[in-house]
Amino acid sequence: MIELKNVTRRFGQTVAVDHIDLTVETGEVCVLVGSSGCGKSTTLRMINRLLPASSGEILVDGEDVTGMDLQRLRLNMGYAIQGTGLFPHWSVARNIALVPRLLKWPKERIDARVTELLQMLEMDPASFADKYPQQLSGGQAQRVGVARALAADPNILLMDEPFGALDAITRENLQLEMLRLQRQLKKTTVFVTHDIDEALRLATRIAVMDQGRIVQHDTPENILRRPASDFVENLVGKQDRGLKLMALRPVRDLMTPHDKPRPAEPGADGLKEDDSLRLALSVMLWQDLRQVAVFDHQGNETGVLLRERLIEGGV
Amino acid sequence: MRIWRTPVLWLAVLLALTLGMDGLEPLFRLIQPDTQSVIYQRETFLFLLGNHVLLVLISATIGTFAAVAGGIFATRPSGRDFLPLVSQIASIGQTFPPVAVLALAVPVLGFGEGPTLVALVLYGLLPVLRNTLAGLDGIDPAVTEAARGMGMSARQVLFQVEIPLAGRVILAGIRTSVTINIATAAIGSTIGARTLGDPVIAGLVNGNTAYVLQGALLIGLLALMTDSLFEALEKLWARRLAPTVSPA
């Protein structure tokens, strides 16, 4: 758990972060979102003390970070940033092994961990371990950056616009990857972004920041349904809130399940239980369908989603 | 091993000429037919070469350590305030010709190897300092930020990240510094240091072009050998510590 109590950061005369209070529960993803210069990065960097707080208290699992040994504090927090910050003179494997080496793990354990992480991020260890960062694509490099942050299995993950420099398609893939990993690993995560869609997709709770203050701290659904101010309302987009809300819910919520799963007919087309209602609506509109079959991970048809049901209960 | 071929070749030529200058007597006789002695005899070329190399080696070692340390200091958080001053000194120093540095050292320190050494150290500092600053400054800030954020200590960031990444640029600075100092050391002969400049000065004073040629040839070969040595070192550094492509 991370607690910020009345934390302020000044740069000379300007106040970058203005008396904020924020609690990030264990295992949740807290996304700090806001336009550039709103203090979200500064807030993140105060948690691992890359910047000291001017006043206020920051507690990690109840312990004040100011009193903690700096190396011990940071080694227990994975850190991933925009542009990766991978060491260009180290191979992918050595980059990932950075923190385990600092923690003096035995070599066999490090090697096993590197292989495990590369597989977890769907990169073939045999072909990637010995490459250098400049030989990777943007998306691959960012995966390695995430792997490096996860290497020593830290309790806390700090991510500062990690996908900010990627193209839209790669970014979406990495966001999905992130969701998958988070379901498995349940890290306490603080994630900074200026992209509200990224925030809505990844967050357990979102903290919207403006001019150094947190203007609303709530779940994605509540942020969309009950924006606390005009600023938040504009940030989430007034008009397409309906679609954004649908994007938060899986098809599973509204489908009409079959009594028992049926094996799919070959070539059958449909949605997966985890697909969003937004995607379902899009498919129905495009193909002009009144209902769509829904499949589980094994490919069995588990139910159907009806158009009326979706329109009535989607938002 | 192929990268060492050029420096070794130049070293062989340099040593052959140093030891076998007498063998070229007929050639020098052609240039200087009227003079009795056409090969410089006051000292052996080997002694002069050794002394010359020693002077450059000592001054380069001192100068490099001082300049790299200064450059590192000026880029640390505690020394950041000095960065503009240090980089200005480094730039201004470059505009002094080496001869002027020597000439200024004499009134203060007198004649001989001592003042030459001081002048060489001072003059050799500057290219190394400038390149150390440029090398450390040229590192992507995201890299050092990530290094610190992941929990590396300041010392680990310096020795495992910054030095390896800036190393090639720093090495290029040392290369410039040493090459210039090989030439500057020769001018040290005018203030009484025993270097390969001796035959050049003696030749100029006595109107003996053969002497001048012998000194100049050896100085040139020494500079070429050193330069190719550094080129090899830079390649080696790039291959070991900052590879840009995967080892095949």
Task: Round to whole Å and give the CA distance between A194 and A192.
Answer: 7
Task: Please give the pLDDT value at position A59.
Answer: 94
Q: From the list A77, A89, A130, which residue is nearest B241 (CB)?
A: A89
Q: From the list A48, A82, A87, which residue is nearest B149 (CB)?
A: A48
The residue type of A127 is S
Contacting residues of B for A99, CB less than 8 Å apart = 150-151
Label residue B85 by pLDDT band (50, 70, 90).
Answer: confident
Contacting residues of A for B146, CB less than 8 Å apart = 79, 81, 84-87, 145
Minimum mean pLDDT among A197-201, A202-206, A295-299, B181-185: which range? A295-299
Given the structure tokens 């006595």, which residue do they identify? B206
CB B48 within 8 A of CB B195: yes
CB B168 within 8 A of CB B234: yes
Mean residue pLDDT across chain B: 85
* Closest to A165 (Cα-Cα) out of A89, A103, A220, A84: A84
Task: Please give the pLDDT value at position A64.
Answer: 92
Q: Which structure tokens are listed for A263?
A: 């094996």
Task: Round to whole Å and give the CA distance between A93 and A136.
Answer: 13
What is the b/e burial string over A115-136, where b = at least 16 CB atoms within 10 angstroms of the residue's CB? eebbebbebebeebbebbbebb
Q: Do B150 and A158 touch (CB under 8 A)?
A: no
pLDDT tens per residue, range A234-273: 988 878 888 889 888 888 888 888 888 888 777 667 888 8
Q: Are strands A205-210 and A213-218 parallel, antiparallel or unpaired?
A: antiparallel
Given the structure tokens 């990030």, which residue do they identify? A24
Task: Round to whole Å and give the CA distance between B159 and B146.
Answer: 15
> Any CB–CB contact under 8 A between A246 and chain B?
no
The residues facing A79 across adjacent strands are A158
B44-243 to CATH, choices 1.10.3720.10, 3.60.15.10, 3.90.330.10, 3.40.50.10680: 1.10.3720.10
Question: What is the nearest CA distance from A83 to chain B, expressed in angstroms?
Answer: 7
Q: Do A89 and B164 touch (CB under 8 A)?
A: yes
Label residue A199 by pLDDT band (50, 70, 90).
Answer: very high
> Any CB–CB contact under 8 A between A84 and chain B?
yes
Q: What is the average per-residue pLDDT within B135-139?
A: 91
Task: Round to whole Å and give the CA distance between B219 and B217.
Answer: 6
pLDDT greater at residue B26 or residue B176? B176
Return the top range by mean pLDDT from A215-219, A256-260, A284-288, B165-169: A215-219
Given the structure tokens 């002027």, which residue do they identify? B100
Q: Do A71 and B151 touch (CB under 8 A)?
A: yes
* Closest to A216 (Cα-Cα) out of A27, A11, A38, A8: A38
> Any CB–CB contact under 8 A between A11 and chain B?
no
What percent of chain A is modeled with pLDDT above 90?
A: 57
Q: Do A134 and B161 touch (CB under 8 A)?
A: no
Task: Please give the pLDDT value at position B244.
Answer: 56
3-state SS class at B101:
helix
> Any CB–CB contact under 8 A between A97 and chain B?
no
Above 50 in pLDDT, residue B247?
Answer: no
What percent of chain B is modeled with pLDDT above 90?
A: 35
Label residue B118 by pLDDT band (50, 70, 90).
Answer: confident
ipTM of the complex: 0.82
- For the sheet with A205-210, list strands across it: A77-81, A156-160, A188-193, A29-33, A205-210, A213-218
pLDDT tens per residue, range B221-233: 999 999 999 999 8
Rama region for A211: left / alpha / beta (φ>0; ψ in -120 to 50; rest)? left
Label residue A173 by pLDDT band (50, 70, 90).
Answer: confident
Task: Please give the pLDDT value at position B248.
Answer: 34
Determine whether A34 is exposed, middle or buried from the number of CB atoms within 10 Å of its CB (0-12, 13-18, 19+).
Answer: buried
Closest Cα in chain B to A158: B149
What percent of chain A is modeled with pLDDT above 70?
A: 99
Task: Round to whole Å and give the CA distance between A50 and A52.
Answer: 7
Q: From the list A79, A83, A88, which residue is nearest B242 (CB)?
A: A88
Q: Do B148 and A74 touch (CB under 8 A)?
A: yes
Q: What is the average per-residue pLDDT within B214-226?
A: 92
Mutate to test the interface with B, among A87, A96, A160 (most CBs of B within 10 A): A87
